[in-house]
Amino acid sequence: MATTCQNKPKRRLLPRMTVFAVISILLLVAIWYVRPEQLQVVLYKASLITIGAVLGYYIDRALFLVEARPHQCIGGIHIVGAWLRRALIVLACVLGMTLGL
């Protein structure tokens, strides 16, 4: 007897990314314990990544029409292309921010 896959969502006990958030906090505590002067550098680099991601998202929204946005595409390959385009623009902005400053 073959089992069928049911599309019933599982109930989560914790919000998404909780484990990664806890690991990040533990790593920040480890950095603070070993080299507390490096926390400024870590926060600076994290802010550059965040600024680059936000800029990339808004550059994509400004350059392309509403119909070309990933959630507005008609389907199929158009959605894939829109998501890849947005990912590449955000990647370029994040790399530009982190490597250029």
pLDDT single digits (tens) 24-77: 999 999 999 999 999 999 999 999 999 999 999 999 989 988 777 777 777 788
Q: What is the mean pLDDT of residues 68-97?
A: 86
Domain count, the chain: 1
pTM: 0.70
Does the pLDDT value for residue 14 go beyond 90?
A: no
Q: Does any domain span residue 65?
A: yes
Structural domain range at position 50: 38-100
Taken in order 53, 59, 62, 68, the sign of the CA dihedral is negative
Distance CA 51, CA 96 (A): 11
Q: Does any domain span residue 92?
A: yes
Choose between 5 and 92: higher pLDDT: 92
List helix spans (H) across the chain. Answer: 18-34, 39-63, 77-100
Does the pLDDT value for residue 1 go beyond 60?
A: no
Contacts of 81 (CB under 8 A, 6+ apart): 73
Helix (H/G/I), strand (E/B), else coil: 73: coil
Q: Does any domain span residue 22?
A: no
